[in-house]
Structure 1
Amino acid sequence: MIKKWKSSLVLMCFIWTIFGIFTFWHVGYQYIGKSYFQSENFQHEIDNFTAELGPLVLNVPNAADFKDEIEITQSEIEDHRNYYGTLGQQIDNIKQQYGQRIQEAVDANAAELQIKLETERDNKIKDITANFENDEHVRKKIRAEKEALIDKYIKSVQAEAKSFGKNYDYWSYELTNIETGKIYRAGDVSESSAYKIKYSERNPLYAGNISNNLRDIFYSTEAYVDVDNFYETAEYMGVLTISKKAVQSLGVMQDYNRFHRNQYTFFFVWLTSIVTAIFAWRGRKVVLQTVTNMKEKEILTKVKFDFQVILVLITGFMYLFTSQIVFESIEYTYDYNYQYNYVRSILDSAFKIAVLFVIGSAFFVQLIWLYTRVDTLKKLEENMKSSYLWSLGDSMTDLFINRSIALHSLVMLAAAFFGGGSLVASMLRGGGFPVLVLAMCMFVGIPALVVFLSRMGYLNRIMKDTKNMAEGRLNRDVKVKGKSPLAGHAENLNHLREGVRTSMHEQAKSERLKTELITNVSHDLRTPLTSIITYTDLLKKPTITDEERQQYIQILDKKSERLKVLIEDLFEVSKMASGNIELHRSRVDLTQLIQQAVGEHKEDLTQSSLDLRMTMPHDPIYAYVDGQKWWRLIDNLIVNVLKYALEGTRVYVTLKRTADGDAEFTVKNVAKYEISEDAEELFERFKRADASRHTEGSGLGLAIAQSIVDLHGARMSIDVDGDLFKVIVRIPAV
């Protein structure tokens, strides 16, 4: 508890320090090392006093002198003449003004009024006609208007001079016109002064003859007096003073006391800010630790980063605004004392300071929480990526993945905003429903709405079909409508549906082949193993003859060799399938390699009653292959022929160079067993054309051959036409 109170006190000291800096930045230059007479307010007062002293006291203008300076230009005459239109327009206007009134007088038999109105009308028409016929007539009228303005200004100066003397009665002066030698005095400049200004011939007081406060009198819509023609300045030397006695007058005393009260108050604020700054600096660690461990922190950590930043900015703005209110409350408390009770004024300021502490505490606590949330670059990056603005940026980026959709979206939004904005603007103007807005709604807004609704309906249809696909119903195509991006998406979904169906088919096939693989492996391994176990048991019998024992041992040797071949083939195909095998490529003559590999099996082919027909090119065909592995490939294909080719048929072995520059090796034979339609399955491990598995072999020959081809980056395919079985291997030739 004590720790929390200490941290709260340190935080308030920090807030008060910041407030002291805030006030010093605002008004420090006004109160540090200055007296009231050096303040900005007093300097403004001097400027206003000296500016009005000339035209109201020292250089009071003379109406006759101003009138002598009046100038009337031809442009002014033309403007005055045509102010209400042409001659014909003005005459028609006068006739319309008096026509109805004269008619009413005639209807009422008021002959005297009728004559009076007609006379006024005729005189005005005569005057207007004279305006267009005689420039001097217009000039006299303009002069009379300008002289009236001058007279009005002179009267205003006389009235202003009286109030000027009362408002500035605490000023004393003794000024001498340098040119005329005339002396002007007010008050007693010999009294002890609180403030004094001296003017000399080298640094005189320049006093004009036109009051800035009364200049507007010369500006009229009908008559305009150019003040610059009248403006003159005179130079004065002498003294302007405010005596110490005069300072006690209400006009000076109020501002004087306000300045010194504010000066003392802000000095107190700044001195206490220095003290609280020291205390805040010493207790900063306690505040950071206490604020960091507050349970309320967990609430804000659950919100998005940018939302917390906005909260900090709002609280910061409120803190700044409250600081301004407290500052003004302190600075202008003196003014309020004349309207409110002094104690009430103090309580009001104290309440505002308390609010400042509350809002300031909320701001700095949130600021510390925000800092602890992003105190490392990694945390900052993580929080920014999880923010709303980042998500919005991603969404905008995603929008432009397909520019067509982005363009359509922007056009739709623009049409909606334009149509709605035009409609609202037309309603607010109160001018009905303009034809232009109606036309825009018909030709832009309504078509855009129809297209939008149509696209949304099509999108809903696509979403429904996508849901059906997700639920496993793949028998129905998504409807492709038009050439829009949505149609392209529908077409992609159809491709995806076909891919899923194919994948499901391949998965079912894979499961079936996996089951067959396990069955075949079990069968092929169990057969020799069973024979080994059986004949081993027979050898244990003491009653068998030596001849039988030798016969059993031969059988065991044969079955063991069979089991060894199975295991080695399985190990080798596994290594090849996993890619865990190293190739030693070299430039090999495929023609020679095939002739040697096939030549080793000529005797076996002859014993199997197979007629070998080889077709080899005259020139060598080279390829970069692993000679040992490629020999195994050829050997496996010939062994496959020996096992499954029909006796008494021909076997064709061909090597040629294709038009594409590949070396093509082909083995063709007539199968003794019926081959399934899916001949590619023969590449699977333990798969045989002999489904009853009566033939010798591991069922891995073609699987090993396929692995060798894959390792070399070559291609191998099987073609079955009835009982004709053909294997084709292609590899780039050198």
Structure 2
Amino acid sequence: MVIVWSVLVALVIMSIPTAIRLGPDMIGKKFVDSHEFQGEMEGFYYTLSTTVLNPIQFEEAREKIIVTDEEIEEHRMRYGNLSDQVMNIQEQYEGRITDAEASGNEQLKETLIKERDTKIADIELNFESDEHVEKKVLAGKVSALKQFLTENQQSARSAFPIAYHLTDVKTGEVFTQGDVEVPAIYKKTFGEVDDYFKANTVISESEYNHYSVSYYDDGYELTAADFANIQQPVRQFEGVIVVSEKALQGSYLKDHLASFNKKKYRNYTLWILSIGALYLLLTKVKFKKEWVTENRFVQSYNGLKIDVKVFIFMFSLLLTFEFIHRDATGAFFYNDYYSGAWPDQLFWLIVLAMSILFLAFQLVNSIERWKQAGVFERDFAESYVVNFLKSFQTMFLNRTLGVQMFILLIGFFLAGFGFAVVAIQPFLILAYLPAVFFLGLPVLYIFVKRSAYLNRIFSSTEKMANGTLHEEIKVKGKSPLAKHARHLNRLREGVQISISEQAKSERLKTELITNVSHDLRTPLTSIITYTDLLKSTHLTDEDRLKYVDIIDKKSARLKTLIEDLFEVSKMASGNLELHRQKVDLTQLLQQALAEHEEEISNSGLDFRVQLPESAIVANVDGQRWWRVLDNLIVNALKYSMSGTRVYLSLDRVGDRAQFVVKNISKYELSENSDELFERFKRADTSRHTDGSGLGLAIAQSIVEMHDGEMEIDIDGDLFKVTVEIPVE
């Protein structure tokens, strides 16, 4: 019942933004009253004015175009000063002239020299004569005007039939199209002084600015001043404009009318349902706190820290308000794209209902729980914040180390704060620089020195944990870190290498046997089964061919598993040799994508690929690096949710190439991304998909052999792989 309550509340909430936003436009309104139809008519009025009733006359307009001194100077200096432009032309022709001379083609050489000298002479004349430049700019602007008029005429046709009969009030000139006496769904009459149809050449000053950007030819713009000069006087017309009922029979208006009615009646349905939901909430389905207190999830939820509860509550609250504030739910009821997407609307209704349900659950549970004496105090005492404060106190158990770390933290905070202040008030750098040299740098030196020693201790400890116990940690000075190093050395002496190595060996052997036996047994069993079936003398040729095809596929599957296993084994033993060469990573990625073009096309996935404009060259084994790209692309094809996007990008970041693959997984992923690098680990835990489970392990090994890094990030169902390697 609590779920029903939350759905009813969500339904009421979802109806609020649509009622506010769409009610005035839909309740009691027809299609011709809609913003969509009115927008179509406004567009028709504009094109009618500028192309039929009051168009720009090209011959008259071209005489009014002017060229300003600024435009002359801009054209002259567009490609740099005189010396830069001459040098650029010479460099363009130098190689071509040399090639023609080397090939013995004297005619081509002379033609290129003449062409070069002509261009250089034209450039020099640009810097000598304003009139020369003015003619070129004027010709370009005239060409741009012609382009504008051509495109304006091309856009004059209306998307649906419209009839009109208009008479110029001043000259009596009549413009007519179609029959204005037919039955109409829309009719606009112009006649009185304030209602005359006003036909402008260009609508407004904003149109000037629009055209000055949109209509140009080879860099020659028509400016706002040009359009102001060619603007003709406004003409006023009386008459009528009609859209006939037959226009609704055309696919354009017919489809838009159907879409409008669908949205209107769908929203009517939503509003009626929300009224019914509100009635039920006030009468039959009133909220009961027992829905929360007797819920089986209460015990699990109460096990969370109070900090986590507060965060979850605030997140749920923000999510709910976001739906209301941004019309996130209502958008699905008035957006054309979702005009028939009831499943999507239902999905967002469920999301909002769950958010409301969780808010109610948390609020009621907290109130009822904290009514008990001492519970709030205990929850607060066990919170992460309180534990952090206790840990902060424990930080000073070794007072020397605690004080040093605290001073370092304060020092870095003040340094960052001082930098921000100097960025706002630069004159304070006179006080900031001495503080940096006499306080900041010494503190930084101490921090780096201690951090380096701590990292060496960490490195040695890691080696000890991995079984390398013959290296003793060097003890320097009498600091707390030196004391810790002595303790670790004592611990090292008590560890037996043989036990550690034996445990590691047993673990690897068990893991290998478990995973390999499962993945090899399945295709092998199929091969044996269908081989036995082939021995039957009663098989038809069709069945025999089918069984042979199955055996062939299972054999290929078995071969792939064994090859991948040997590949991983060679990498693990260090017996794999790389043949490095300079490779264009951009081209290699393009080839890998082309190899899978058919699979990508049939996958139902939308691959979004972002490649750099220039080549990224790295010293890699091309065959092995192809394997990395292929494994990651195949991984995305296999495990991406159908209908989602897959993002692939390659870019240069500093001295490293970064390749990123992002997709939405169709399987639930563990938060521990390191598990996916394990051998035979799959997102498909049921192991029904093809593959050895070694793809990411092989890719990671190849990347590491190239001195690169490979990381996996998981955020819910978002799966992201980042690969970085050094480049030339």
TM-score normalised by structure 2 residue count: 0.50
Q: Indicate if the aligned counterparts of 1:175 and 1:236 stay in contact, CA closer than 8 A.
A: yes
Matches within 5 A, 1:38-437: 38-161=33-156, 164-165=157-158, 167=159, 169-199=160-190, 200-210=192-202, 216-219=213-216, 222-226=219-223, 227-232=227-232, 233-283=234-284, 287-316=288-317, 327-331=330-334, 346=342, 349-350=345-346, 353=349, 357-358=353-354, 360-373=356-369, 387-389=383-385, 406-412=406-412
Q: After TM superposition, give the deviation of residue 189 of structure 1 in Å.
A: 2.5
Q: Deviations over 1:35-87 (max 9, x none)?
A: 33333333333333323332233222222122111111222222222323333
Secondary structure at 2:56 match in 1: coil
Q: Deviations over 1:340-368 (max 9, x none)?
A: xxxxx556655665565455434433343
Indicate how the Cα distance of structure 1 residues 180 and 379 shifts in structure 2: closer, same or farther if over 3 A, else same: farther
Q: Indicate if the aligned counterparts of 1:81 and 1:138 stay in contact, CA closer than 8 A.
A: yes
Q: Indicate if the aligned counterparts of 2:161 and 2:247 stay in contact, CA closer than 8 A.
A: yes
Determine the C-alpha separation between the residues in 2 that align with 1:462 and 1:231.
88
Determine the C-alpha separation between the residues in 1 that align with 2:181 and 2:364.
64
Determine the C-alpha separation between the residues in 1 that align with 2:18 and 2:376.
34
Determine the C-alpha separation between the residues in 2 that align with 1:86 and 1:445.
49
Determine the C-alpha separation between the residues in 2 that align with 1:361 and 1:63.
67
Give the stretch that moved more between structures: 305-314 or 348-357. Answer: 348-357
Indicate how the Cα distance of structure 1 residues 130 and 350 shifts in structure 2: closer, same or farther if over 3 A, else same: closer
Q: Indicate if the aligned counterparts of 1:77 and 1:139 stay in contact, CA closer than 8 A.
A: yes
Q: Indicate if the aligned counterparts of 1:70 and 1:143 stay in contact, CA closer than 8 A.
A: yes
Determine the C-alpha separation between the residues in 1 that align with 2:130 and 2:336.
63
Aligned to 1:449: 448
Secondary structure at 2:231 match in 1: coil
Indicate how the Cα distance of structure 1 residues 397 and 459 shifts in structure 2: closer, same or farther if over 3 A, else same: closer
Q: Indicate if the aligned counterparts of 2:31 and 2:37 stay in contact, CA closer than 8 A.
A: yes
Secondary structure at 1:240 match in 2: strand
Determine the C-alpha separation between the residues in 2 that align with 1:64 and 1:97.
39
Determine the C-alpha separation between the residues in 2 that align with 1:120 and 1:256.
61
Secondary structure at 2:193 match in 1: coil
Q: Indicate if the aligned counterparts of 1:17 and 1:274 stay in contact, CA closer than 8 A.
A: yes
Aligned to 2:587: none
Amino acid at match of 2:447: A
Q: Indicate if the aligned counterparts of 1:54 and 1:207 stay in contact, CA closer than 8 A.
A: yes
Indicate how the Cα distance of structure 1 residues 452 and 40 shifts in structure 2: closer, same or farther if over 3 A, else same: same
Determine the C-alpha separation between the residues in 2 that align with 1:287 and 1:17.
19
Aligned to 2:23: 28
Q: Indicate if the aligned counterparts of 2:262 and 2:339 stay in contact, CA closer than 8 A.
A: no
Secondary structure at 2:194 match in 1: coil
Q: Indicate if the aligned counterparts of 1:56 and 1:160 stay in contact, CA closer than 8 A.
A: no
Determine the C-alpha separation between the residues in 1 that align with 2:442 and 2:244.
82
Secondary structure at 1:287 match in 2: coil
Determine the C-alpha separation between the residues in 2 that align with 1:125 and 1:157.
38
Q: Indicate if the aligned counterparts of 1:416 and 1:445 stay in contact, CA closer than 8 A.
A: no
Secondary structure at 1:196 match in 2: strand
Q: After TM superposition, give the deviation of residue 202 of structure 1 in Å.
A: 1.8
Indicate how the Cα distance of structure 1 residues 380 and 216 shifts in structure 2: closer, same or farther if over 3 A, else same: farther
Indicate how the Cα distance of structure 1 residues 13 and 86 shifts in structure 2: closer, same or farther if over 3 A, else same: closer
Determine the C-alpha separation between the residues in 2 that align with 1:454 and 1:348.
57
Give the stretch that moved more between structures: 199-208 or 323-332. Answer: 323-332
Amino acid at match of 1:366: Q
Q: After TM superposition, give the deviation of residue 270 of structure 1 in Å.
A: 1.5
Matches within 5 A, 1:434-583: 446-451=445-450, 458-459=479-480
Q: Indicate if the aligned counterparts of 1:178 and 1:201 stay in contact, CA closer than 8 A.
A: no
Larger Rg: 1
Gaps of 5+ in 1: 338-344, 420-439, 465-734
Determine the C-alpha separation between the residues in 2 that align with 1:306 and 1:224.
61
Q: Indicate if the aligned counterparts of 2:143 and 2:217 stay in contact, CA closer than 8 A.
A: no
Total equivalences in the alignment: 429
Q: Deviations over 1:381-431 (max 9, x none)?
A: 986676545666898899999999754323357889999xxxxxxxxxxxx
Aligned to 2:488: none
Secondary structure at 1:71 match in 2: coil
Indicate how the Cα distance of structure 1 residues 417 and 124 shifts in structure 2: closer, same or farther if over 3 A, else same: same
Q: After TM superposition, give the deviation of residue 152 of structure 1 in Å.
A: 1.8
Q: Indicate if the aligned counterparts of 1:319 and 1:359 stay in contact, CA closer than 8 A.
A: yes
Indicate how the Cα distance of structure 1 residues 376 and 209 shifts in structure 2: closer, same or farther if over 3 A, else same: farther
Q: Indicate if the aligned counterparts of 2:72 and 2:130 stay in contact, CA closer than 8 A.
A: yes
Gaps of 5+ in 2: 420-438, 458-477, 486-728
Identity, in percent, stands at 24
Q: Indicate if the aligned counterparts of 1:17 and 1:276 stay in contact, CA closer than 8 A.
A: yes
Determine the C-alpha separation between the residues in 1 that align with 2:287 and 2:62.
80
Determine the C-alpha separation between the residues in 1 that align with 2:390 and 2:178.
79
Secondary structure at 1:195 match in 2: strand
Q: Indicate if the aligned counterparts of 1:193 and 1:243 stay in contact, CA closer than 8 A.
A: yes
Indicate how the Cα distance of structure 1 residues 404 and 39 shifts in structure 2: closer, same or farther if over 3 A, else same: farther
Indicate how the Cα distance of structure 1 residues 453 and 209 shifts in structure 2: closer, same or farther if over 3 A, else same: same
Indicate how the Cα distance of structure 1 residues 387 and 86 shifts in structure 2: closer, same or farther if over 3 A, else same: same
Secondary structure at 1:202 match in 2: helix
Determine the C-alpha separation between the residues in 2 that align with 1:222 and 1:405.
62
Determine the C-alpha separation between the residues in 2 that align with 1:281 and 1:309.
29
Give the stretch that moved more between structures: 210-219 or 113-122. Answer: 210-219
Determine the C-alpha separation between the residues in 2 that align with 1:289 and 1:116.
95
Q: Indicate if the aligned counterparts of 1:90 and 1:128 stay in contact, CA closer than 8 A.
A: yes
Indicate how the Cα distance of structure 1 residues 388 and 183 shifts in structure 2: closer, same or farther if over 3 A, else same: farther
